[in-house]
Amino acid sequence: MFALFQINYHNQYFSAFGDNTKSENLAKNLWLNKLSRFSPETICGAAEKIIAENDYLPTLHKMLEACRKVGMPKGLPSPRRAYREACNKPSPKAAQHWSHAAVYLAGRDCGWHTLANEIERKAFPMFEEAYLQYCDRVLSGEQFSVEPPPGLPETSAVTASREYSRKQLNKLKQLMD
């Protein structure tokens, strides 16, 4: 990745690191620490994507974003699409069909009330942060699922006696008078 950046962003690369291998090694260690959860294929693909789309040497933040986009498994929507999905699903949320369990879990962590009642400018950043954390966990191989809501308890098979039913009806009549 650093070799690709050195070749493609020659002047910027040497302006950032100079001929000082110490600062270059520090940067490599930092990037390695932050990018270690991604596969080498994802990192190289992200570097190639950045080179194809940008005129400037990327920051670590831009590289992390590119790795997330390139390495994102199928079925995992973008944060904006996931936010819209979480906001638009009816209740009970756990009973709905989700594009990915990470969308449901991020919505649950943010709070369904918050997503339904806060303006997007406030709610989306909270949702996005939670969602990207789940995305990172998915990228590292973790599996998630949405637990279905618990069913209602079985009702008693024993019916009330006629006398008991009349007593209850009389109580209701007295309350209404």
Token pair listed for 18: 């100079």
Judge whether 119 and 138 are in contact, CB under 8 Å: no
Question: What averages of pLDDT result for each successive group of 10 residues across the chain (177 residues)?
Answer: 90 84 89 88 92 93 88 84 96 92 96 95 96 86 85 73 91 88
pLDDT computed for residue 23 by the predictor:
85
pLDDT computed for residue 158 by the predictor:
74
Q: Which of 35, 27, 28, 106 is nearest to 70 (CA)?
A: 35
Token pair listed for 64: 């992390």
Token pair listed for 173: 């009549």
pLDDT computed for residue 170 by the predictor:
93
Judge whether 58 and 50 are in contact, CB under 8 Å: yes
Token pair 């291998």: residue = 21
Q: Which residues of 98-107 are buried (b: 16+ CB within 10 A; e: fewer)?
A: bebbbbbbbb
pLDDT computed for residue 137 by the predictor:
86
Judge whether 36 and 15 are in contact, CB under 8 Å: no
Domain edges within the chain:
2-71, 79-139
pTM reported for the whole predicted model: 0.63
pLDDT computed for residue 86 by the predictor:
96
pLDDT computed for residue 37 by the predictor:
81
